Structure 1
Amino acid sequence: MRQVPKEYSSTLSSLQDQAVPCHFKAIEEVLIRNLGHNLSDTFLSLDEQPLAAASIAQVHKAVLKDHQAVAIKVQYPGLEQQMKLDTTTMYFISKSITWFFPEYRFGWLVAEFVQAISLELDFIQEAGNSERTANNFKNNKWVKVPHVFWGLTTKQVLTMEFCTGHKVDDVDYLKERKIDPVKVAKVLLEMFAEMIFIHGFLHGDPHPGNILVSPEGQNGFSLVLLDHGIYKQLNDKFRLDYCQLWKALILLDSKKLQHLGEQFGVAIGKDVLAKLC
């Protein structure tokens, strides 16, 4: 199992350095098949050693002819066909469990998983999510979303701007750079609050590998948001109710909390309310 270098940059850091990377020859074939031309006509250089590797793809650093550094997310060859086989097997097992155990009520999980993985396997929709998020945060001086190179992006290949940074939970790095961890936490909180309460378009995989702290930026640092494969569109009713929930928590309004809990399908016991309020 390979380890990803501590300092790296990519547009694909959902890759949590846990997977064995695919041999570059197979990755090269995917690139040629998707980009449709000799790679040397497009890239000045293309690193064979991946920056990171995970379950559905790996990312490589490259330099375009105009000297622009990019990160290329490449889907593993044959993955889509394998996923179809695996999800069919999951459906069969789930239905079999339901037949033997009628009280089983989790068949919906398979459908949710299949929908999510189908979205993740389509890098074009991921690129669209990325651009939408970049536009949402265009006036936010703290948040950066890497630029998408659409001419080098397909369903299986995603080419984006190469951005430097460290994982948001790397406190030692923050201290070395004299970046205040409390300020980083505040900006992180505000970024997701803006997603939830203002845009209603929420990143679905916000682990530390998908949020880099870059030393670049007008204010000493910026947060680089990566991996836009999964997003949740929040409707206005949910967002309003969620606002009311936080208001009730702040005001210690037990009746409102209980009512909103029912709205969200969560039963809040009297003992819990007593502790909260």
Structure 2
Amino acid sequence: MFETVRRLRRSARVARTGARIYLGYKRTQRRARKLPPAAAEAAWTARHEEFAELLYRLATDLRGLYIKSGQFLGTRTDLLPEPYTRSLSRLQDAVPPHPFPVVRRTIEEQFGAALEDLFAAFDPEPLASASLAQVHRARLPDGRDVVVKVQYPEVAGLVRLDVRNLKALVGIVARLEPNFDYRTVVNEIASQVPMELDFEREAEMTRRVRANLAHLPGVVVPAVVDGYVRPKVLVTEYVEGVRLLDAERRDAHAPDRAALAAAITNAYGHQIMVDGLFQADPHPGNILVLPGGRVALLDFGLTKELPDAARRGFARLVLGTANRDPGEILAAFRELGVRVRNEEPGALLATLAILFEPRPIDAPRAELRERNRALRSNPVEQIPGDLVLLGRVIGLLRGVCASLGTPLSPMQMLRPYAERALAR
């Protein structure tokens, strides 16, 4: 009974928030029509700021899929106004961990054994906590240091409820306001999360990507520990490194920033255009910098297999963008199922510059606002789910390249892999 009431309250809060945002924007729309342009833009910006913070609070309170969705949307500078991406990007570090007794209970239920029988040592303080799980450092009886990823016990049921709520909400908005149809985005999120909840699938994907990249210099994928995989618990080897955004310690490990950017770009270029199997949830927290300038890729919960046609279409888009060839870009867009409002060459190049050219992870707000204004002048009207995920990878790479001061754009750095993909 209590659980039913809790879920009803959760659904009601989502509905109230959605109604408040919709009605608030309708009021601003009516008011802005009567204002001079500068005042109208200020009114819209104030409303964006208000509702971006409202969604941030909703995500941090309800957690689960709302954290995951907010993290996803926080990377979509092509889709949302700057106040939203700025506010929602804070969700990368906003998830409080579950208490250790909950972690212990989950591990012992999954393995049918006491924690002390499974591990020689186990740190009760998590290394990190995310939207669906948290990770702890531990030591196996044979002395190996490992990382233990533990899924939150209630998250699977809540995610199913949240998917239904989000689909209903965006469906209503799409019918009322056809220009704000986010059903493709929500459907993509809804298709992703079940994969991330299956840790046995994640273990298999980790093994496959590790094998695919084994020959690539400077790239490490931590090994899965055999016998320590369950649907809600995954154990991998511990890798000592520093976070990509920890500039001082990162530069001590990798003083050659251009080589570091190349190693990261090569890892993703190979995954996407050679293997057709890639880590589709990239963000700086999933990349460690190791001594000697090597990089370690973490977290393969969302790993996607790319159909051959999409792989080749993306390779063509990379070459068209690197060559600044509007005809090639337009052909790639059509092959991939992308539709933009204005197909004039100058408009295409401007849109591609915004979507794919380097932008520092910590770019100033003024630059972000200018990019968003330019993109709104030629919006992307249709984009397939696979390309949404590929766009996230390019978003990470452009931020990395710009923040490391690399003179080349990700598309230029990916050119050799695109040429290789199209030559096969």
Q: Which runs of no fewer than 5 residues in structure 1 stay unpaired? A: 2-14
* Residues 1:177 and 1:135: Cα distance change in structure 2 (over 3 Å): closer
Contact 2:213–2:219 (CA<8 Å) still a contact in 1? yes
**Cα gap change, 1:140 to 1:274, in 2 (>3 Å):** closer
Q: Which residue identity does 1:238 align to in structure 2?
A: A
Which deviates further from its counterpart, 245-254 or 95-104? Answer: 95-104
State the alpha-carbon separation in 2 of the partners of residues 101 and 251 from structure 1: 38
Q: Which letter does structure 1 place at the counterpart of 2:327?
A: K
Residue pair 2:149, 2:235 contacting (<8 A) in 1 also: yes
Match of 1:240 in 2: 312
Q: State which of 157, 160, 164 in structure 1 corresponds to 2:236.
A: 160
- Farther off after superposition, 58-67 or 247-256: 247-256
Structure 2: 5+ residue runs without aligned partners?
1-59, 61-90, 353-424
**Separation in 1 of the partners of 2:186 and 2:273?**
29
Cα distance change of structure 1 residues 43 and 237 upon mapping to structure 2, 3 Å threshold: same
Inter-partner Cα distance in structure 1 for 2:127 and 2:283 = 18
Q: Which residue of 2 aligns with 1:51?
A: 127
Counterpart-to-counterpart distance in 2, 1:21 and 1:29: 15
Which of 167, 171, 178 is residue 91 of structure 1 equivalent to?
Answer: 167
Q: CA contact under 8 A between 1:202 and 1:233: conserved in structure 2?
A: yes
Q: 1:28–1:221: structure 2 CA closer, same or farther, 3 Å change rule?
A: same
Q: Which residue of 2 aligns with 1:4?
A: none
Percent of pairs with identical residues: 30
Structure 1 residue 270, shift from structure 2 partner: 2.9
Give me the whole-angstrom Cα distance separating, in 2, the residues matched to 1:162 and 1:244. Answer: 38
| Secondary structure at 1:151 match in 2 | strand
Give the aligned residue type for 1:44. A
Match of 1:263 in 2: 335
Kept after mapping to 2: 8 A contact 1:57/1:73 = yes
Counterpart residue type for residue 272 of structure 1:
A
Partner of 2:415: none
Deviation string for 1:163-210 (max 9, x for gaps)? 111122333113333531111001111111111221111211111110
Which residue, out of 58, 77, 100, partners 1:24?
A: 100
Residues 171 and 181 in structure 1, CA contact (< 8 A), matched pair in contact too: no
Cα gap change, 1:251 to 1:117, in 2 (>3 Å): closer
Task: Write the distance in 1 (CA, Å) between the matches of 2:177 and 2:322.
Answer: 44
SS at match of 1:206: coil
Higher relative contact order (CA 8 A, sep 6+): 1
Matched, 1:254 2:254: no
Residue 339 of structure 2 aligns with an amino acid whose one-letter code is: V
94-103 or 236-245, which moves further after superposition? 94-103
2:296 alignment partner, one of 211, 224, 239? 224
TM-score by length of 2: 0.56
Runs of 4+ in 1 over 6 A off after TM superposition: none
> Are 1:146 and 1:160, in contact at CA under 8 Å, matched by a contact in 2?
yes
Aligned CA-pair RMSD: 2.4
Q: What CA distance in whole angstroms lies between the structure 2 residues aligned with 1:135 and 1:42?
A: 27
Compare 220-229 and 85-94 and name the one that shifted more.
85-94
Kindly indicate whether the alpha-carbon contact (under 8 Å) linking 1:174 and 1:180 is maintained by their aligned counterparts in 2.
no
How much has 1:42 moved relative to structure 2? Answer: 1.8
In the aligned structure 2, how far is the partner of 1:32 from the partner of 1:245?
Answer: 48
- In the superposition, the TM-score normalised over structure 1's length comes to 0.84
User: How many angstroms apart in 1 are the aligned matches of 2:323 and 2:331?
Assistant: 15
- Tell me the equivalent position of 2:260: 184
**Matches of 1:59 and 1:244 in 2, distance apart?**
39
Contact 2:259 2:293 in 1 (8 A): no
Q: Which moved more, 1:200-209 or 1:232-241?
A: 232-241
Structure 2 CA distance, aligned partners of 1:119 and 1:83?
A: 12
Q: Which amino acid aligns with 1:244?
A: R
What residue identity is the alignment partner of 2:320? Answer: A
